[in-house]
Amino acid sequence: MRWLLLKDLQILRRSPLQAVLLVAWPILIAVLVGFAISGGPSKPRVAFLNEVPADARISVGGQQLPSANVRNRICTRVECVHVGDREEAEAKVRSGDVLAALILPGDLVDQINSLSTLTPGKPEVEVLVNEEDPIKSELVKDRIETLLAQANLAIARRIAGEGSHYLGLLIDGGQLEVLGQEFPILGLRASARILETLEPALPPALRSSLHEVTRFAQQARDNLDVAAPLIARLAQPIAVHRVSVGGSSPPLEVFAIAAAATLTLAFVAVLLVAGSLALEREENAFPRLVRGLVSPSALLVEKVLLGIAVGLVVTLLLLGGLAIFVPLAWDRFPLWLAAIVLGGAAMAAAGAALGAAAREVRAVSLLAFMVTLPVALLSLVPSGSVGAAVSDAIDVVNALFPFKPALRAMTGALDSAGPALGWPLLHLAVLAAAYGLLARLALRRFGSV
């Protein structure tokens, strides 16, 4: 068997394209995933035209609020391309230089300020989008809506903060600044105290009326104390309290690395083994081999070992490359090996079944690609994101093909917060045996002359 393994490695070495792909693929994936994980999400380029006068401020009750710094808030979330006028913004959107253009009209602050008057206006910002691409259009819609929601929230918080400040002044007293001059405000608390002090000195006929005023001041103070946090809640009426159920999950970057490693292992093992087995037929060598030189079962074992060996090297190369960008838990290396070896065995056995069924190298390569890619994508669909019937169908596919258990095993091997390794490894062992049996059955018609 070792001579057949050596022969397959010699053939692999003689196929420059295949050899280059086997080395280049993990490096390329490692670099792409590494940059994607370590570089953070990219910011969309948005043309930004701010026609609002620099000194314009949102005012509440005749008082100007400090700047909410909406422009800075927006430009930290998108890459702002500052433009001079509307025409320039339109040109950039049309040419595809920017994803969209956001225009803050000159009267925006006035329109916002009018909301607290008897003749409220309709504050609007303008978004220019190139509608040629529906996906791009939808993306812009989502991004801009999120940005505006964040801007609205920032403004609402400022208003709520100022409201709470005035309320505090009313309750506790202090200095109110109007047109550059400060006026003392006594406040309800101090007013009630003064009235309580004065009450014994008053004639009994007035004392009862004063007592009612004092009581009102106390009630107002106590109830307005409760109103302050209520106003603050208006800025964000519904808070999110996140509760995690169903165990812990690994960090997203670990999942991304596991997905990249499993996809690499799947492509290498399935394509290589399927192609290598089909090559035995294409070269007419299969009948010669099984005439007493090697049994069909031993040939299958050799192909699966080939898939595991090459898959192991390529996947470790990928993980080594990713370790440059993201720290990996090298102390879990034995678990990596277990996940890669069993995942590789199941993938290779599936490749052998495909190779034995299709028999021609070109056909089998296409078939392996067409099976592996959709199954890999299906296994990444989160449960609950599709209808019940589709979800059930996806579960069946995930149970029958080794990608999902291999992904779970890889995630569990890379991070302690991942799934437990036992079941995925057992699942992979069962699938390796089942696909091995299928491949053996398919080989019965493989050698017909």
Identity of the residue, 12 or 52, whose beta carbon is nearer to another protein in the bound complex: 12
Interior CA angle at 184 toward 182 and 185, to 5°?
A: 130
Shortest Å distance, C-beta 267 to another protein: 21
Alpha-carbon radius of gyration of the chain: 35
Identity of the residue, 123 or 275, whose beta carbon is nearer to another protein in the bound complex: 275
Q: Which of 51, 145, 283, 392 binds another protein (CB under 8 A)?
A: 283
Strand pairing class (126-129; 174-178)? unpaired
Which amino acid would we find at residue 401? F
Residue 3 interacts with another protein (CB under 8 A)? yes
Among the candidate windows 10-18, 124-132, 153-161, 312-320, which touches another protein by CB under 8 A? 10-18
Q: Which of 95, 284, 383, 385 binds another protein (CB under 8 A)?
A: 284
Within 13 A of 219's CA, how many CA atoms are on the CB side? Answer: 6
Among the candidate windows 3-11, 94-102, 225-233, 260-268, which touches another protein by CB under 8 A? 3-11
Residue 434 interacts with another protein (CB under 8 A)? no
Residue whose C-alpha is closest to residue 126's, from 101, 92, 159, 163: 101
Identity of the residue, 6 or 234, whose beta carbon is nearer to another protein in the bound complex: 6
Interior CA angle at 295 toward 281 and 315, to 5°?
A: 70
Count CB neighbours of 333 within 10 A.
Answer: 13
Residues 6+ apart with CB under 8 A from 245: none
Q: Which of 40, 117, 291, 327 binds another protein (CB under 8 A)?
A: 291
Q: Return d(Cα 21, Cα 363) in angstroms, integer.
A: 19
Q: Return d(Cα 439, Cα 297) in angstroms, integer.
A: 9
Is the CB of residue 329 less than 8 Å from the CB of residue 417? no
**What would the x/- binding string for another protein be over residues 11 to 50, using CB under 8 A?**
x--xx-----------------------------------
- Take residue 444 and report the two structure tokens written for it: 């019965």
Q: Which of 10, 175, 244, 385 binds another protein (CB under 8 A)?
A: 10
| Greatest C-alpha distance within the chain | 126
Among the candidate windows 2-10, 148-156, 353-361, 435-443, which touches another protein by CB under 8 A? 2-10
Identity of the residue, 82 or 288, whose beta carbon is nearer to another protein in the bound complex: 288
- Take residue 50 and report the two structure tokens written for it: 């701010």
Q: Which of 23, 194, 293, 380 binds another protein (CB under 8 A)?
A: 293
Kindly state the number of chain residues that form the binding site for another protein, as judged by CB under 8 A. Answer: 21
Residue 93 interacts with another protein (CB under 8 A)? no
Residue 359 interacts with another protein (CB under 8 A)? no
Interface contacts to another protein, rule CB under 8 A: 3-4, 6-7, 10-11, 14-15, 283-285, 287-289, 291-294, 447-449
